[in-house]
Amino acid sequence: MTGEDSFESFVRARSDRLLRLAWLITGDWDDSRDSVQDALEAVLPRWPGLSATDRLDAYVRRCVVNACLDTTRRRGRSRPVAEPALLPSAPVGDDPASAVANADEAWRLCRGLPPVQRTAVVLRFYDDLSFADIGAALGCPEATARSHVHRAIAALRSRLDVGSTTEGRTREGSAKEGSAKEGNPKEGNSNG
């Protein structure tokens, strides 16, 4: 088998996973396809020397991560709307609507993270990588990778706390308004 044949079989075997990884980082299918293509285009000239190494997957993953981060930097702060039809389906549980709402909320919160933190979270929880492997993929020390994941989780928790506090206030406010309109007996309404 020639070098080109092995590269083509490598791409066929891993392209779907690389594309999903890129989409989770960029949030846009077009950008993710471009990022994966750019990464694989950069790998091809080096393929003969790389194909014999045992860290080939890690090298290609790092190329994809770098291409995705370059894309998000070029794109700037614009945030495309996720394509809901292409999101993974929610697991079936007691209340499917609740599971979908939770997945949508998690995705929305992750989209608000800075690109490097979002990438670290994706690599940790989607690709199930160790902190050392995340550091290798991001080109930083393991401690920095831990810091990125820790800060991302802290930011997600604080956003969840703010959202639930705001939601609770909205519910309380609606309940107070409703009882005032209906004539709450505690407030001395003499209709009853």
Domain housing 38: 1-76
Flag whether 191 is in a domain. Answer: no
Distances (CA, A) of 7 to 10, 49, 165: 5, 12, 52
Nearest Cα neighbor of 90 from 81, 78, 99, 82 is: 99
Angle at 105 between CA 28 and CA 21, to 5 degrees: 35
Flag whether 82 is in a domain. Answer: no
Distances (CA, A) of 22 to 15, 38, 67, 68, 157: 10, 11, 9, 6, 24
Domain finish residue from 15, 49, 76: 76
CATH code of the domain covering residue 111: 1.10.10.10
Domain finish residue from 41, 76, 111: 76
State the total domains in the chain. Answer: 2
Domain finish residue from 13, 42, 76: 76
In order along the chain (192 residues), what is the average pLDDT of each group of 10 residues? Answer: 74 92 88 93 88 82 92 70 60 66 80 91 90 93 95 90 61 47 45 44
Sort 94 into a burial class: Cβ within 10 Å, 0-12 / 13-18 / 19+. exposed
Q: Looking at the structure, tell me whether residues 100 and 178 fall in a common domain.
A: yes
How many angstroms separate the CA atoms of 89 and 98, rounded? 13
Flag whether 45 is in a domain. Answer: yes
pLDDT digits (tens, 9 = 90+) for 99-153: 777 777 878 888 889 999 999 998 998 888 999 999 999 999 999 999 999 999 9
How many angstroms separate the CA atoms of 120 and 110, rounded? 11
DSSP 8-state symbol, 52: T
Flag whether 152 is in a domain. Answer: yes
